[in-house]
Amino acid sequence: MASRVLLTFRNGHRVTMLDQGIDERGPYLRLQHELGEPGRQAGPHWHPVLAEEWTVRRGALRFRIDGREILAGPGDTVTAPARAVHEFWNESAGTVMDHEIRPPLRHWQMFALWSALDEAGATTDSRVPRNPLALALLWELQDGYLAGIPPWLQRLTLGSLAAIARRTGYGRRLLTPAEPN
């Protein structure tokens, strides 16, 4: 069982690592999100390999998965399989959800970098990094693609910027001690 590590964002979003490991279904990462205010949490994107599952503990979330809209309340579980375009919104203040990622790939590192950027004031009010190098690193760590933009174009532009960020040490300077080894 992983030690519980907490990441916080200026808007009140808190992400707690609950567990990571391997079980009969393979490697996983389990997180809990506490979402303060209603609003968009993730824009449309997809992952070639990983699947995500969310279980609402308190409040309400609206998901769009492959064009299908789902309103989820306490006790509801919603899944986005690999390759499914998905996005979601927090519909009520104080929403709490469990989030499972299989396989986790670099999702925790993405949240750690994102939190570090936000804490440093390097993101907009909607938590988008201001620096294109930081945006590219987040893109790379999500292990997926933005919907509506050809993957080859994302690899060319954001992938190239992420490579520059890694070569210059930009990402290492931002990561917090919350990133597990």
Per-residue pLDDT of the chain (181 residues; tens, 9 = 90+): 445 789 988 888 999 999 999 999 999 999 999 998 899 999 999 999 999 999 999 999 999 999 999 999 999 999 999 999 999 999 999 999 999 999 999 999 999 999 989 988 999 888 889 999 999 999 999 999 999 999 999 999 999 999 999 999 887 776 544 444 4
Backbone CA torsion sign across 172, 126, 67, 75: positive
Q: How many CB atoms lie within 10 A of CB 115?
A: 25
Number of H helices, E strands in the chain: 4, 11
Please state, in angstroms and rounded to a whole number, the distance separating the CA atoms of residues 15 and 108. Answer: 10
Residue spans of the domains in the chain: they are 6-102, 107-174
Strands (E), the chain: 6-8, 14-23, 26-35, 39-46, 51-58, 61-65, 68-72, 77-80, 86-90, 95-102, 145-146
CATH 2.60.120.10 assigned to domain 6-102? The reply is yes
Q: How many CB atoms lie within 10 A of CB 170?
A: 17
Summarize pLDDT for 24-74 with one digit per residue, the tens: 999 999 999 999 889 999 999 999 999 999 999 999 999 999 999 999 999
